[in-house]
Structure 1
Amino acid sequence: MADLFFYGTLCHPPLLAAVLGREVPVTPARLAGHSVFWAAGQNFPLIVEGGAGAEGVLAEGLGPEDLARLDHYEGGFDYRTRDLAVDAGGRRVVARVYFPDAGRWQPGAPWRLEDWVVHWGAVAVEASAEVMRLMGTRSARDIARRYRMILMHAASRLRARERGPARLRRRAVEGDVVVSAWRQPYARFFAVEEYDLGFRRFDGTMSETVNRAAFISSDAAVVLPYDPVRDRVLLIEQFRTGPFARGDGEPWLIEAIAGRVDPDETPEEAVRREAVEEAGLVLSDLIPAAHYYPTPGAKAEYLYTFIGLADLPDGAAGLGGVEGEAEDIRAHLVGFPDLMDLIASGEVNNAPLLILGMTLARERAAIRARHGRGA
């Protein structure tokens, strides 16, 4: 049995329970002569020697399974335990404390658990479910390499729990889908999840157990920049692996600006960021369009789409993309009639731009009346 002192994210009771698979009692404790900081550029803290003292909690009497689960959760980020004496309500207790390997992370701003809970708590707890479910099938190191993607997937799951309308379709209730087995046979930038599951049929009975797989990618946000005064849009062009893998002889696609929604941002923040990264463009108003699953039979991806009002003078189109991400993007300024021609000819052949083009056609007169020179 062992006692552990936690000073960072594991002081959050829901996260500690998720990692250990059970709730454990903790006692407020303090480690003298140490300080806690955010790890620079990360969403977790580190502890360093020196300072007035590190506040935290003490969990006592943890067993071998608890320790294995904690090492799985912490080990991929190069945290190892040291035995140090902590003060727990006047008692001196020798406890294990997770420290990062020397030089692995650099300290940033002073750490406050309350700040982390507001910005990261819910996402981190949701992400921990996937991290712990992979224990025994993926190494802690492999999970750490994908942790950003795991956080993005977790944020997508949290957004998905905001129930949508069900006027025509069945409103799902607990027990309508029963999963008997889960596997993740592939995981890199994207992942594949495989399920053995049963679902409730429309006659009220449960189906037989069937095998289903889904391609896992996080939510994405898409924006079509539109200048209502000049009546033109900005489109981007880039090489796409999907058409190439299909054997398409034209794997460079004309698209709207798009990107993954980071775990610490909203879809609206994501499209504003992507507009700057891909086209050097600052958007003003965002007009929500359709939000949807592009391929629900095979992919977990969900798209948030917008028309973004922008100033698009001559010369606004150029080359863009983020260095280090192998992005090579060319922008085009296209008048609204030309956009409709590109859709009609099939040169625009991806769902987000098709839907946004049709949305703009429907809303164009009203947008121009409010923001432009009129139709």
Structure 2
Amino acid sequence: MRRFVFGALAWPPLLERVLGRAADLRPARLPGYAVYGTGGGALDPGTLCAVPDGGAEGLLILDPDPEDGARMAYFNGTDADGMVTEVRCGGDLVSARVALHDDAPGDGALPWDQARWLEEWGPLALDTARNIMAQYGQTEPARMAGLRPYLAARAWARQLARTPAPAEVRMATTAEEGVEILRDRPGHEGFFRLRAFDMRHRRFDGAQSPEIGREGFVAYDAALVLPYDPATDHVLLIEQLRYGPILRGDPRPWVLEPVAGLVDGGEDPETCVLREAVEEAGLTLREVQPMVRVYASPGYSSEFFHCYLGLADLSSYEAGVGGLDAEHEDIRSHLLSFDRAMALVDSGEINAGPLAMMLLWLARARAGLRAGA
């Protein structure tokens, strides 16, 4: 049975990535319906809504494969295979299977604008589809439906990485020029990805390295903020249970950290820290200033930190317990003088690298901030 696709999947490059093949496509129109978006960004597939005298634009798959419906449902995070109806292709009405969702536009739904969606979300949607479809047949659809936002965040990290740091001292050769990935080997695919691969690279002496087998931990970009009140010279830290210390065998796995969170797909890191300050500490920041942008552990992980100083009025702040129940967060906040925080760096009680780094950054900038307070 031929299939009618609309919204995001009516973009042939994305459809090809989801189906795993290039399909034979024709422009088509579904009478009595219109395509609406829900503001879901790269993960918004568009939805068909009943509209009198409407006509939803899309594509007709002329050479359907038995797995097409399952693959599209897997990408969209749905379990609906659709229903059979008639669509107009050229001058003919033909039967096709269509994923019909809502009877009427929901709250916040807007008419689908394909050109605008492509401009804003097209590249991210392609990378997200690569992440999602890599797990097709391995990760259950119900679990994948919950992983979709995180895989979009992982794809967004690749987009953010396309603007590299300066190369005044280090080698300016790009990965495209100096690194060759020879083959990928099976690795874990889930919330995190363990990528196993064989590679070779250009050496500092200009020669080519031998073939090397490596494994890497594919993670996310995170945004971190250290709230600081220059008028009172206090910082706000948070504390939570961390799994790294548990896995290492540390008998005290509760860790002092800056406020932080994963950067959602398409989200500006600065927007992320403003959101996380409210969610984790109940704090509205007055202003944020960039600190550093760094890899957490570049030897084996793609994890990347966007670090900010958050200026805030902490004079009446009351430390307590917060976090989102939906994300199983149990977070305690601590309001400390700067000197007390630095003493914890010296004693080793602050043993999370990002927090120590950010406090040392603040130590250099503190005098100027206090003078302007």
5 Å matches for 1:97-112?
97-99=98-100, 109-112=109-112
Distance 1:106 1:78 in 2: 20
Q: CA deviation at 1:55?
A: 2.0
Distance 1:246 1:111 in 2: 51
Residue matched to 1:302: 304
Q: Is the 8 A contact 1:73 1:132 kept in 2?
A: no
Secondary structure of the corresponding residue to residue 35 of structure 1: strand
Larger displacement relative to structure 2 (320-329 or 274-283): 320-329
Q: CA deviation at 1:45?
A: 2.3
Secondary structure of the corresponding residue to residue 170 of structure 2: coil
Residue matched to 1:340: 342
> Does the alignment pair 1:365 with 2:367?
yes
Q: CA deviation at 1:175?
A: 5.0
Structure-2 change in CA distance of 1:38 and 1:79 (3 Å): farther
Counterpart residue identity of residue 29, structure 2: R
Structure-2 change in CA distance of 1:59 and 1:232 (3 Å): same
Secondary structure of the corresponding residue to residue 53 of structure 2: coil
Q: Is the 8 A contact 1:83 1:96 kept in 2?
A: yes
Q: Is the 8 A contact 2:255 2:350 kept in 1?
A: yes
Q: CA deviation at 1:184?
A: 5.3
Q: Is the 8 A contact 1:26 1:57 kept in 2?
A: no
Q: Is the 8 A contact 2:26 2:62 kept in 1?
A: no
5 Å matches for 1:217-236?
217-236=219-238
Q: CA deviation at 1:194?
A: 1.6
Q: Is the 8 A contact 1:217 1:299 kept in 2?
A: yes
Larger displacement relative to structure 2 (47-56 or 339-348): 47-56
Structure-2 change in CA distance of 1:89 and 1:63 (3 Å): closer
Structure-2 change in CA distance of 1:243 and 1:312 (3 Å): same
Residue matched to 2:34: 35
Structure-2 change in CA distance of 1:173 and 1:246 (3 Å): closer
Q: CA deviation at 1:276?
A: 0.1
Counterpart of 2:270 (choices 243, 268, 271) is 268
Counterpart residue identity of residue 335, structure 2: L
CA deviations over 1:348-371 (Å, ceiling 9, x no partner): 11111111101111111112223x
Residue matched to 1:255: 257
Distance 2:267 2:175 in 1: 29
- Could you list the runs of 5+ residues in structure 1 that have no partner in the other structure? none
Q: CA deviation at 1:23?
A: 5.9
Residue matched to 2:191: 189
Q: Is the 8 A contact 1:5 1:57 kept in 2?
A: yes
Residue matched to 1:123: 124
Structure-2 change in CA distance of 1:59 and 1:177 (3 Å): farther
Counterpart of 1:313 (choices 315, 335, 338) is 315
- Could you list the runs of 5+ residues in structure 2 that have no partner in the other structure? none
Residue matched to 2:326: 324
Distance 2:332 2:146 in 1: 30
Q: How many residue pairs were aligned? A: 366
Q: CA deviation at 1:242?
A: 0.8
Secondary structure of the corresponding residue to residue 33 of structure 1: strand
Q: Is the 8 A contact 1:184 1:191 kept in 2?
A: no
> Does the alignment pair 1:288 with 2:305?
no
Q: Is the 8 A contact 1:40 1:107 kept in 2?
A: no
CA deviations over 1:20-45 (Å, ceiling 9, x no partner): 55666754422112233346876232
Structure-2 change in CA distance of 1:51 and 1:198 (3 Å): farther
Counterpart residue identity of residue 251, structure 1: P
Query: Aligned-pair RMSD on alpha carbons?
Result: 2.8
Distance 2:72 2:196 in 1: 23
Q: CA deviation at 1:311?
A: 0.5
Counterpart residue identity of residue 93, structure 1: V
Quote the sequence identity (%): 38
Q: CA deviation at 1:318?
A: 1.6
Larger displacement relative to structure 2 (265-274 or 240-249): 240-249
Q: Is the 8 A contact 1:33 1:54 kept in 2?
A: yes
TM-score (norm 1): 0.87
Distance 2:58 2:366 in 1: 58
Structure-2 change in CA distance of 1:49 and 1:183 (3 Å): farther
CA deviations over 1:165-216 (Å, ceiling 9, x no partner): 1222222252532223324532333232222222222333333332222222
Secondary structure of the corresponding residue to residue 176 of structure 2: coil
Q: CA deviation at 1:326?
A: 1.9
Secondary structure of the corresponding residue to residue 284 of structure 2: coil
Distance 2:139 2:330 in 1: 33
Q: Is the 8 A contact 2:225 2:259 kept in 1?
A: yes
